[in-house]
């Protein structure tokens, strides 16, 4: 990727709902704030963000759950990505 | 479990209301914000969360009370889980 | 008790209004936010709470005044308790 | 008094409007947020309050001005008191 | 004066609009939040206020500009004073 | 000038829109929050402001851009000035 | 440029939507908060901003994505610029 996120930002590529992970996670459909599954595409350097030291805990290629309403969508070569802050990522799904 | 929560997040599995704990805790039904009983399924690493050092105080397998409206629901292999921040857990029920 | 509060939380058992303390405290009835008298049943460990060091200042068995609207109610063996943060306790009534 | 305020809290006894202080202070009647004159009855230990070091600056017996809408009222032996945080006290009236 | 402000509070005596300062300052009449000119009557000790070190920068006798809506009014010997926090003072008018 | 701003405050004199700077800056007219061009007339000492160390970065005589809705207007010898906090200044226009 | 941003502010020049970057980024059109692509024209010195140490991570000449609603527009020699805080920049687009 040609995009380099600043601070604690992470670039995600949403994983389609049809696609099932090895861990078999399926997103709940009964709650209003549904978490979203995505793949990590690019990770910011962390460091001091808003005056606080942030260590990045996710890596490129990992699957993560993040809040549906988090982040900003961008498009690269026709593919949609989402830029979120690391704190908006709930969990990593180990495979 | 195949899910690894970030920061101070904790993955909980709700305990059914019919099920009674050893300590005999029954959730109050007269207040609007009812605490919920759950089992801890996965615990984040803690560390610096929003610039503040957080030490995790709950362990996998413990029973906890948490606020009903806290957290985000996810589904894994057909079972619902809730991802909460540790601060949203009120107390551990020792058995 | 079988309940272990987290952080700066305190488990209280409300003292009935009919019951009079040695110090003769009677709760005011003319203000909207009436303080409540209660007995301390369990005390969290304190420590770092939301990034701030908290030392617990109340002990099991003490009588305290707390804001009526503070905390979350729970039931244990048919008895109602309230889980509050220590900061929601106004004062200890020495006997 | 049998009441021991926590943290930076101060127990005050309101001074009647009819009563005039040596300094001759009379509360303004034209503003909406009228300060109240009161006597300090009990003073918390101070220390770390919400993660910040607080040194108590008022003493039992002093006359103080505090905001009318501050604090919580309690009754002890039929007398009304107000529990305020020290920061809600505007000034001490030296006599 | 017999009044001793706490923390970073300052007691001011409003200067009448008719009265002109040496510097010739006249308050603007076209803005909604008009600054007010006043004389400093008493200054708190400063020190740690809400967990932050505050050094007092105004002295008794100085002329200052402060926001019209800041502070609490009190009356002493029939004269109105305003108790403000030092941060609500915009500037000192040197004479 | 006879006015000495407190803390991180800066006294500005608005530059008329007709007047063009050497750098040729003309304020945008299509956005709602138009920046304003002004000359720095007086600069506070900086230091600890609201518990945070502030170093003053503007000097008397410099041209600056600031947000239209920032600050408080005052009048001195018939001329209008604006008192802003340094953080409300967007940029210095070098000449 | 003759403009020197203060603190963590950055002066950007918007890149027209028609213009395609080497990385082929095209802004999403389906979300409400569209990121904007821009070139960095001037960078503030960083340092302590609102009491927090900020290190500048962007350089003059870099392409960046920033939130559409961020910043303040200014005009210089007939060209529109946007003054944003560095934290409002989502990512750098490496070319």
pLDDT in tens, A60-83: 999 999 977 788 888 777 788 999
Q: Which residue has the tokens 């009228």?
A: D34
Q: What is the mean pLDDT of residues D13-31?
A: 56
By the 8 A CB rule, do E56 and E45 touch? yes
Q: Cβ contacts (< 8 Å) between D40 and chain E: which residues?
A: none
The pLDDT value recorded for residue C75 is 78
Per the CB < 8 A criterion, the answer to whether B38 and B11 are in contact is no
Return the pLDDT at A9: 95
* Closest listed residue to residue A39, CA positions, set A73, A71, A3, A14: A14
Chain centroid to Cα F12, Å, comes to: 4
Which residues, in sequence order, are bridge partners of residue C39?
Answer: C13, C63
Residue with more model confidence, G75 or E58 = E58
Question: Tell me, what's the pLDDT at C31?
Answer: 40
C4/B91 CB distance under 8 A: yes
Retrieve residue A8's tokens.
Answer: 């604690």
Local structure of residue G45 (DSSP, 8 states): -
Contact check, Cβ <8 Å, B50/A52: yes
- The strand pair at B35-43 and B52-54 is best described as unpaired
Question: How many angstroms from the chain centroid is the CA of residue B37?
Answer: 8
Domains of chain C: 9-93 (2.30.33.40)
Q: How many CB pairs under 8 A join B and C?
A: 80
pLDDT confidence of B1, banded at 50, 70, 90?
Answer: low
Tens digit of pLDDT for each residue in A17-28? 544 445 555 544
Pair B28, B82: CB distance under 8 Å = no
Using CA coordinates, name the residue in chain F closest to G8.
F90
The pLDDT value recorded for residue C9 is 95
Q: So what's the pLDDT on residue B41?
A: 96
Summarize pLDDT for C62-76 with one digit per residue, the tens.
999 997 778 888 877
CA distance G22 to F95: 35
pLDDT of residue C94: 81
Angstrom distance (rounded) from CA B60 to CA F19: 70
| pLDDT above 70 (res B30) | no
ipTM, 2 decimals?
Answer: 0.72
Longest dimension (CA), chain G: 40
Q: Say if CB A86 and CB A20 are below 8 A apart.
A: no
Chain D nearest C-alpha distance from C8 (Å): 11
Q: Do chains C and F touch (3 or more CB pairs under 8 A)?
A: no
What are residue B81's DSSP bridge partners?
Answer: B74
User: Distances from the Cα of C92 to the Cαs of A15, C24, D10, in angstroms?
Assistant: 55, 13, 12
Q: Kindly state the average pLDDT of the residues E75-94.
A: 88
Helix/strand/coil for F58: coil
Q: Which residues pair with G25 in a beta bridge?
A: A76
What's the confidence (pLDDT) of residue G31? 41
* CB-based contacts of C19, cutoff 8 Å, min separation 6: none
What distance lies between CA C20 and its chain's CA centroid?
17
Contact flag G53-A48 (C-beta cutoff 8 Å): yes
3-state secondary structure chain C: CCEEECCCEEEEEECCCCCCCCCCEECCCCCCCCEEEEEEEEECCCEEECCEEECCCCCCCCEEEEECCCCEEEEECCEEEEEEEHHHEEEEECC
The residue among G7, G42, E93, E84 whose CA lies nearest residue F54 is G7
Confidence of residue D70 (pLDDT cuts 50, 70, 90): confident
Chain G neighbors of A80, CB-CB under 8 A:
28
> Between these two residues, B18 and C91, which has the higher pLDDT value?
C91
Categorize the per-residue pLDDT at F70 as very low, low, confident or very high, splitting at 50, 70 and 90: confident
Record the tokens describing residue C84, joined without a space. 């509050």
């Amino acid at each position: 990727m040609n995009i380099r996120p600043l601070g604690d930002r992470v670039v995600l590529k949403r994983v389609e709902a049809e696609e099932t992970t090895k861990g078999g996670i399926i997103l709940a459909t009964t709650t209003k704030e549904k978490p979203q599954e995505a793949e990590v595409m690019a990770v910011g350097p962390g460091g001091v963000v808003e005056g606080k030291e942030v260590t990045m805990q996710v890596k490129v290629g990992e699957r993560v759950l993040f809040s549906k309403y988090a982040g900003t969508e961008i498009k690269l070569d026709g593919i949609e990505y989402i830029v979120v802050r690391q704190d908006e990522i709930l969990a990593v799904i180990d495979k």
